[in-house]
């Protein structure tokens, strides 16, 4: 079996003690075989079939983006600076209604190209035509947790067909691409799915033994509507519907009261925090420090490029570290290490991949990235955990590996044809807007 030895690199492993050191790492097949501080031991040098000089590079786990809609990259910059309902009803939904499987394929490929180039190795995607997203994941070499997001505001026969589609997608794709793809079950949101319809998704998740994913409490309006329509705020509503009996990842969770935070912690619900999208759509600022204090695992998502407008998870890491300090008035909340955990190990745990990815550790999958650190914004050598959280950008990523396979080398995609993707995505958009 091939064994890659990386020597003379700088490492941020995301281990519990958050070490950072000059060191080495060996990759055998799809896994991290060993790693350590200082020069590589003689034995590692002997075992290696290939060596990479890690000088000027910082190695860390690949980033995990826990909420998004990749295909919506086709709508980047189409409509900004608008009120949410205007944006959704007059711009997003009418254009999305025209999306074909082909659009989903090229929009998702556009997103995959951007994510790999900015250091994301694993992403969550909730959309339609999901087998086309699966094809992109398969081809790109990325790791993903995919889910058919179902809006249930439709006649019963359409509801049935959508649920069947979500179930069939799960059966066909869970465990696909050598296990790089897993599947979740997703009613889109409490405000777009009637309770009895949500119950069917919970039932399906039990039958298929899968986790669940949904949008929850993104805006104050939907929380108020939930109380009006069903008598409960969204957290209690979903809990009563049994959703939290499954491992569940909720996106946004901006508007929570103390009781809801306590219940989310008690039920081990995972929260995907999407600070850039929440700001851009003026949804508000999630109570992340309180969620963390309560013991909730909080990870980071970009949401789609239509409300962000890029997929650079380093921006979410920086935003998470900055925003909550300024809003809370406490400069000690979400320190650099915590923000990095949100973008890596917390993300992995939130989609059932703790112990699989999100850290550099012997035995874990070899999903890692290398940043070029011989740059002004990484000088001086004070603290690379700080530099990664506050100074780095996705564009600093030079190399990316997933499952031990290199997907990006010196900023060039190895598994995807970037030029073709950019051209096809532009072609799709020109047809959609026509």
Task: For residues 95 and 77, give the distance between their C-alpha atoms in angstroms, rounded to a whole number.
Answer: 13
**Concatenated DSSP letters of 327-396:** HHT-TTSS-HHHHHHHHTHHHHHHTT-TTTSSS--TTSB--EEEEE--SGGG-S-S-HHHIIIII--GGG
The residues in 60-79 that bind a copy of itself, with binding defined as CB under 8 A, are 73-78
What is the nearest approach in angstroms of a copy of itself to the Cβ of residue 315? 8
**Binder of a copy of itself out of 168, 203, 379, 412 (CB under 8 A):** 379
Tell whether 188 is in a known binding site.
yes
The residues in 3-62 that bind a copy of itself, with binding defined as CB under 8 A, are none
Tell whether 96 is in a known binding site.
yes
Task: For residues 370 and 388, give the distance between their C-alpha atoms in angstroms, rounded to a whole number.
Answer: 12
**Binder of a copy of itself out of 284, 352, 354, 355 (CB under 8 A):** 284
Tell whether 218 is in a known binding site.
yes
Under the binding rule (CB under 8 A), the answer on residue 369 touching a copy of itself is: no
The residues in 310-349 that bind a copy of itself, with binding defined as CB under 8 A, are 310-312, 315, 318-319, 321-323, 325-332, 335-336
The residues in 396-425 that bind a copy of itself, with binding defined as CB under 8 A, are 396, 418, 421-422, 425
Tell whether 69 is in a known binding site.
yes
| Nearby residues of 354 by Cβ (< 8 Å), 6 or more positions away | 345, 348
Other Cβ atoms less than 10 A from the Cβ of 217: the count is: 28
Contact 151, 165 (CB under 8 A): no
Tell whether 148 is in a known binding site.
yes
Under the binding rule (CB under 8 A), the answer on residue 270 touching a copy of itself is: no
**Binder of a copy of itself out of 151, 208, 265, 391 (CB under 8 A):** 391
What is the nearest approach in angstroms of a copy of itself to the Cβ of residue 296? 20
- Closer by beta carbon to a copy of itself, 135 or else 396: 396
Terminal C-alpha separation, the chain:
52
The residues in 108-147 that bind a copy of itself, with binding defined as CB under 8 A, are 110-111, 113-114, 117
Task: For residues 195 and 186, give the distance between their C-alpha atoms in angstroms, rounded to a whole number.
Answer: 13
Label the pairing between strands 20-28 and 31-37: antiparallel
Find where tokens 């980047």 sit: 76
Tell whether 246 is in a known binding site.
no
Contact 80, 118 (CB under 8 A): no
**Binder of a copy of itself out of 1, 16, 374, 410 (CB under 8 A):** 374
Q: Which stretch binds a copy of itself (CB under 8 A): 37-45, 80-88, 132-140, 180-188?
A: 80-88
What is the nearest approach in angstroms of a copy of itself to the Cβ of residue 382? 4
């Amino acid at each position: 079996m091939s064994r890659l030895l990386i020597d003379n690199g700088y490492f941020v492993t995301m281990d519990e003690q958050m070490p950072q050191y000059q060191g080495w790492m060996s990759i055998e097949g799809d896994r991290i075989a060993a790693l350590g501080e200082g020069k590589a031991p003689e034995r590692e040098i002997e075992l290696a079939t290939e060596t990479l000089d890690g000088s000027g590079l910082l190695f860390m786990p690949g980033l995990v983006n826990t909420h998004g809609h990749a295909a919506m990259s086709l709508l980047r910059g189409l409509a900004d600076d608008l009120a949410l309902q205007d944006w959704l009803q007059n711009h997003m939904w009418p254009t999305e209604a025209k999306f074909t499987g082909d659009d989903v394929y090229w929009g998702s490929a556009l997103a995959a190209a951007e994510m790999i180039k900015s250091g994301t190795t694993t992403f969550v995607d909730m959309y339609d035509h999901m087998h086309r997203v699966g094809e992109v994941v398969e081809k790109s070499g990325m790791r993903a947790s995919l889910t058919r997001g179902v809006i249930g505001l439709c006649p019963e026969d359409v509801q049935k067909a959508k649920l069947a589609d979500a179930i069939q997608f799960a059966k066909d794709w869970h465990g696909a691409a050598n296990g790089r793809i897993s599947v979740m079950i997703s009613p889109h949101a409490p405000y777009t799915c009637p309770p009895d319809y949500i119950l069917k998704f919970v039932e399906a998740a039990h039958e298929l033994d899968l986790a669940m994913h949904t949008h929850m409490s993104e805006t104050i309006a939907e929380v108020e509507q939930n109380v009006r329509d069903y008598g409960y705020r969204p957290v209690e509503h979903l809990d009563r519907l049994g959703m939290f009996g499954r491992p569940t990842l909720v996106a946004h969770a901006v508007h929570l009261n103390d009781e809801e935070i306590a219940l989310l912690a008690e039920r081990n619900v995972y929260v995907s925090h999407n600070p850039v999208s929440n700001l851009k759509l003026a949804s508000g600022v999630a109570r992340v420090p309180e969620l963390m204090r309560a013991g909730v695992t909080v990870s980071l998502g970009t949401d789609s490029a239509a409300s962000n407008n890029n997929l650079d998870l380093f921006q979410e890491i920086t935003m998470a570290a900055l925003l909550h300090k300024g809003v809370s008035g406490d400069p000690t909340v979400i320190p650099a290490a915590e923000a990095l955990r949100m973008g890596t190990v917390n993300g992995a745990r939130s989609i059932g991949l703790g112990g699989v990815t999100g850290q550099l550790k012997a035995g874990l999958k070899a999903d890692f990235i290398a940043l070029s650190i011989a740059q002004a914004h990484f000088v001086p050598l004070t603290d690379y955990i700080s530099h990664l959280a506050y100074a780095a950008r996705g564009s600093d990523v030079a190399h990316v590996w997933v499952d031990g396979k290199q997907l990006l080398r010196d900023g060039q995609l190895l598994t995807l044809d970037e030029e073709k993707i950019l051209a096809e995505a532009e072609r799709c958009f020109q047809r959609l807007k026509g």
